[in-house]
Homo-oligomer: A and B are copies of this chain.
Amino acid sequence: MKNDDNRIKIGMIGLGYIGSEVLELITRKKEYIFKKIGKYLEVIKVAEKDLSSRRSIISRHKEITFTEDPGEIIEDGSIDIVIELIGGIEPSFEYILACLNNKKFVVTANKDLIAKKGPDIFDAAEKNEVDILFEASVGGGIPIIGPLKTTLAANNIYKVVGILNGTTNYILTRMDSDGLGFKDALRIAQELGYAESDPDSDIMGKDAANKLAILSSIIFNSRVSVDDVYKEGIINITEEDITNARELGYCIKLLAIGDLLDDKINVRVHPALIPSEHILSSIKYENNAVYFYGDNVGEVMSFGKGAGDKPTASSVVGDVINIARNFDRADPHPVFGCTCFTKKEIAAIDDTVGKFYVLMEVTDKPGVLAKISKIFGNNSVSIHSMIQKPSRENKKGSASLVFIIHDVLNRNIKKALEQIKGLDVVDSVKNVIRVEELEN
């Protein structure tokens, strides 16, 4: 056994797009990683449900046992670390729990699972005195979770603002820079392979919500589930909104925001107008970024590719290295653990306060603004600025009104807009988008 002390035995479950790259990366960098940490990472067994389609990679790895039965990895007492890369909730959840219960350390990129089943998973890891790491579940290759647990660990991070979904950021960038409509931009994103053919998880904000739930759990030290996250997608954003935003000095991004409201956790994914001068406006195309506000460090941001096989594999193997560096087979113990040591409530979106952009189509005649302003006033909604523009549809007798609304309770603006929609001089409220000033 002593001869094995610098060899870390790894099992992999899942050999798809990401899994294949992880296997190749570990193989390619074996000596390089040994020189850095004094341990050899050795993948000894890989489970994949359809091996027949993996002949090429199998033929390149004679040293590895390939199987279609994940149980062979879960039950293999010689395996130190299991890498789970099949994704989704089931059967990943079952496999990971079984690995943890067999006292194996686990590395995963599975954001759905961590965001949904976090409590069960971390409880199992704690009970069995092992670690489960998941850097690749948020922001692909960008170091985010690691720094939060280490370099930034002395901080109370009181706010996170992320651009966490590359597909939607690509779509909004193309709409802004090339004047494309939403559907055309989505089609191009799909052609380039950024968007899934069923892109709902991206454009409805669910993918970003998973990642936000994971990040918020870490920074607020309290478990946040994806179900706690308020979600609005980008399907209603039009080129008209983007043009209006630009004229007002803003650009539109799909943001994932976590902060505290009276010590309740306020987590939301929605499009927002942000100042064109803010660095998050510079995050373009499929790139991701996460912006943290810490009580000591101030503002820090990480930026990079948030998806793709190679960046994701970089983070997966980084996690394996973090475990391997400290791994003591005689006395395995967790290094990072779960840091959700408190239990905070989740704030209701109606109770949150924010600025808003409101675009409406109205009858172009005197007295209209007075009627609208009266309803806003009655509901404690205060107008910061208003611009009247010709109706986009060139409808005779119509005009567009663009409002920026001062900080307001969400329930108040909601109520005001319901009443405004009932005015006979208002054709439609075309869009309502939050404005995040992201002030320094």
Seen from chain A, the residues whose Cβ lies within 8 Å of a Cβ on chain B are 25-26, 29, 32-33, 35-38, 135, 141-143, 146-147, 150-156, 221, 279, 282-283, 294, 296-305, 308, 310-311, 313-315, 317-319, 321-322, 325-326, 335-337, 339, 341
Contacts and interface: CB of A to CB of B under 8 A. Distances in A.
Nearest to A319: B151
23 contacts: A33-B153, A35-B221, A35-B339, A35-B341, A37-B337, A141-B296, A143-B147, A143-B152, A143-B300, A143-B302, A146-B146, A146-B147, A146-B150, A147-B147, A147-B151, A152-B314, A152-B318, A279-B303, A294-B314, A297-B305, A297-B314, A297-B315, A300-B305
Nearest to A37: B153
A264 to B, nearest CB: 19
The A contact surface, by secondary structure, is: mixed
Given A147-B143, A300-B141, A310-B298, A154 B318 contact: yes
B326 A314 contact: no
A379 to B, nearest CB: 38
Contact of A310 (B279, B297, B300, B308): B297
Contacts of A143: 143, 147, 150-152, 300, 302
A36 to B, nearest CB: 5
A174 to B, nearest CB: 15
A298 B142 CA distance: 10
A33 B152 CA distance: 11
Nearest to A310: B296
Nearest to A302: B302
A305 B301 contact: no
A152 B322 CA distance: 10
Contacts of A310: 296-298
Contact of A318 (B151, B321, B325, B337): B151
Contacts of A308: 298
A335 to B, nearest CB: 6
A154 B325 contact: no
B304 A298 contact: yes
Nearest to A292: B304
A154 B282 contact: no
A17 to B, nearest CB: 14
A339 B36 contact: yes
Given A146-B150, A282-B282, A296-B25, A335 B339 contact: no
A33 B149 CA distance: 11
B304 A299 contact: yes
A296 B303 CA distance: 15
Most buried by B among A35, A36, A314, A337: A314
Most buried by B among A35, A283, A300: A300
A284 to B, nearest CB: 8
Nearest to A304: B300
A130 to B, nearest CB: 15
Nearest first, the 5 A-B pairs at minimum CB distance are: A300-B304, A143-B147, A141-B297, A143-B151, A154-B317
